[in-house]
Amino acid sequence: MNHEKEINKRRTFGIISHPDAGKTTLTEKLLLFGGAIQSAGAVKNNKIKKSATSDFMEIEKQRGISVATSVMAFNYRDKQINILDTPGHKDFAEDTYRTLTAVDSVIMVIDCANGVEAQTEKLMEVCRMRDTPVIVFINKMDREGKDAFDLLDEIESKLGIKVKPMSWPIGIGATFKGVYNMHKKELNLFSGNKTSIEKEVYNLNGIQDPSLSDFIGEEATEILKEEVELIDGVYGDFNQEKYLEGKIAPVFFGSALNNFGVQELLDSFIEVSPTPQGRNTESRSIEPNEEKFSGFVFKIHANIDPKHRDRIAFLRIVSGKFERNKFYLHTRHQKKIKFPNPTSFMASSKSVVDEAYPGDVIGLYDSGTFKIGDSLSEGEVLNFKGIPSFSPEIFKEIQNDDPMKSKQLDKGLRQLTDEGVAQLFVMQPGNRKIIGTVGELQFEVIQYRLKQEYGASCSFVSRNFFKACWMTSANKVTIQDFIKRKSTNVAYDKDENPVFLAPSPFLLAQAEGDYPEITFHKTSEFKLDE
376 exposure class (CB count in 10 Å sphere: 0-12, 13-18, 19+): buried
Determine phi and psi for 102, rounding to 5 degrees: -100, -5
- Reference 349, options 131, 72, 2; nearest CA is 72
Computed over its alpha carbons, how large is the radius of gyration of the chain? 25
Report the Cα 421 to chain-centroid distance in Å.
Answer: 13
Q: DSSP strand E in 204-310: where? A: 248-253, 279-280, 285-286, 294-302
Class of the 279-377 domain? alpha beta
Sign of CA dihedral 261, 262, 267, 272: positive
Q: What is the DSSP letter of 143?
A: S
- Reference 342, options 361, 359, 358; nearest CA is 361
* H/E segment holding residue 337: strand 335-337
Residues facing residue 109 across a β-bridge? 17, 137
User: Do 167 and 261 contact (CB within 8 A), yes or no?
Assistant: yes
Length, in residues, of the chain = 530
Compute how many other C-beta atoms are within 10 angstroms of the C-beta atom of residue 117.
17
What's the pTM value of the predicted model, to 2 decimals?
0.76
Residue 454's pLDDT is 86
394-529: in CATH 3.40.190.10: no
- Reference 188, options 246, 139, 260; nearest CA is 260
Q: pLDDT, tens digit, for every residue of 296-339?
A: 998 887 665 555 556 788 899 999 999 999 999 999 889 999 99
Residue 90's pLDDT is 57
- Report how far residue 74's alpha carbon sits from residue 388's, in angstroms, rounded to the nearest whole number: 28
Contacts of 189 (CB under 8 A, 6+ apart): 177, 178, 200, 201, 202, 215, 216
51 exposure class (CB count in 10 Å sphere: 0-12, 13-18, 19+): buried
Residue 53's pLDDT is 46
Q: DSSP strand E in 368-457: where? A: 375-377, 394-400, 423-427, 432-437
Packing angle of the helix pair 23-33, 262-272 (nearest 10 deg): 80
The domain 4-272: what is its CATH number?
3.40.50.300
- Report how far residue 326's alpha carbon sits from residue 122's, in angstroms, rounded to the nearest whole number: 40
Residue 225's pLDDT is 87
Domain positions in the chain are 4-272, 279-377, 394-529
Distances 70 to 13, 289, 362, 446, 472 between C-alpha atoms, Å: 12, 26, 12, 18, 36
By three-state DSSP, how is residue 248 classified?
strand
Hey, do 4-272 and 279-377 end up sharing a CATH topology, with the first three levels equal?
A: yes
- Report how far residue 191's alpha carbon sits from residue 178's, in angstroms, rounded to the nearest whole number: 8
User: 283-289 long-range contacts, Cβ below 8 Å, gap at least 24?
Assistant: 283/381, 283/382, 283/383, 286/318, 286/319, 286/382, 286/384, 287/319, 288/3, 288/7, 288/318, 288/319, 288/358, 288/359, 289/2, 289/3, 289/4, 289/7, 289/319, 289/358
Residue 365's pLDDT is 86
Distances 76 to 33, 72, 80, 254 between C-alpha atoms, Å: 8, 13, 6, 20
Residue 528's pLDDT is 38
Kind of pairing between the strands at 186-189 and 178-181? antiparallel
Residue 190's pLDDT is 73
Packing angle of the helix pair 441-454, 406-418 (nearest 10 deg): 130
User: Do 223 and 231 contact (CB within 8 A), yes or no?
Assistant: no
One-letter identity of residue 380? E
User: Do 467 and 502 contact (CB within 8 A), yes or no?
Assistant: yes
Residue 55's pLDDT is 45
Compute how many other C-beta atoms are within 10 angstroms of the C-beta atom of residue 407.
10
Contacts of 193 (CB under 8 A, 6+ apart): 258, 259
Per-residue pLDDT of the chain (530 residues; tens, 9 = 90+): 468 899 999 999 998 888 888 887 888 888 887 776 655 553 333 333 344 444 444 544 454 444 344 678 888 888 999 988 776 555 556 677 788 889 999 999 999 999 998 888 888 888 888 889 999 999 999 899 999 999 999 999 999 999 999 999 988 888 888 888 887 777 878 776 555 555 566 667 677 777 777 888 888 888 888 998 899 888 888 999 999 999 999 999 999 888 888 888 998 999 999 999 999 998 899 999 999 999 999 888 766 555 555 678 889 999 999 999 999 999 988 999 999 988 887 544 567 889 999 999 998 888 778 888 899 999 999 988 877 666 788 999 999 999 899 999 998 888 888 777 788 999 988 889 999 887 787 788 888 888 888 899 999 999 999 999 999 988 889 999 999 999 899 999 888 889 999 999 999 999 999 999 999 987 765 543 33
